[in-house]
Structure 1
Amino acid sequence: MDLTGARWRKSTKSGNNGGDCVEVADNLPGVVAVRDSKDPAGPVLTFDPAAWTRFVETTRRG
């Protein structure tokens, strides 16, 4: 998967916990990418945008 041009941002829920954060890139067409901020060159999980939206909405509801 080509993630060239991905604009990574930290989760607003990550807080100030010494860098243990999740980063999300949701600016690419047809994909949402997620990675560990401590390892930006490491593995990336990718999701269909609709699946990502369902995940975020579900976690917000608890």
Structure 2
Amino acid sequence: MDDLSVELATAAWRKATKSASNDGNCIEVAPLSDGRVGIRDTEAPEKAPYIVRASVWDAFIDGAKKGEFDF
């Protein structure tokens, strides 16, 4: 098992508190080393998560706060 696999297996996954209103179906995120963030589907936690750099995650959060993804 490589270092990333070990890190993912012990990662502190969390989901938004508002996900309860969606039957808990959402994504989970986990902080990883080097500022990376793991992103996975709560309905399929056994599948490999997406791993993004800190800059990508920060840009996503910034866009979400600004309403860029609102419908």
Q: TM-score, normalised by structure 1?
A: 0.80
Determine which structure has more spread, i.e. the larger CA radius of gyration: 2
Please give the secondary structure, in 1, of the residue aligned with 2:61: helix
SS where residue 64 of structure 2 aligns?
Answer: helix
Which has the bigger relative contact order, CA under 8 A and spacing at least 6?
Answer: 1
- How many matched pairs? 61
Higher helix share: 2
Q: How does 1:1-62 map to 2 (within 5 A)?
A: 1-2=4-5, 3-26=8-31, 28-30=32-34, 31-62=36-67
Which aligned segments of 4 or more residues in structure 1 are displaced greater than 4 angstroms? none
* Residues 11 and 24, structure 1, Cα contact 8 Å, conserved in 2: no
Whole-angstrom distance in 2 between the partners of 1:9 and 1:35: 10
Work out the percentage of aligned pairs sharing the same amino acid: 36
How far apart in 2 are the matches of 1:12 and 1:50?
Answer: 24
Unaligned regions of 5+ residues in structure 1, if any?
none
- TM-score, with length taken from structure 2: 0.72
- Extract unaligned runs of 5+ from structure 2: none
C-alpha change, 1:9 and 1:51, in structure 2 (3 Å) is same
**CA distance, structure 1, for counterparts of residue 24 and residue 18 of structure 2:** 12
46 and 37 in structure 1: CA distance in 2 versus 1, 3 angstrom threshold: same
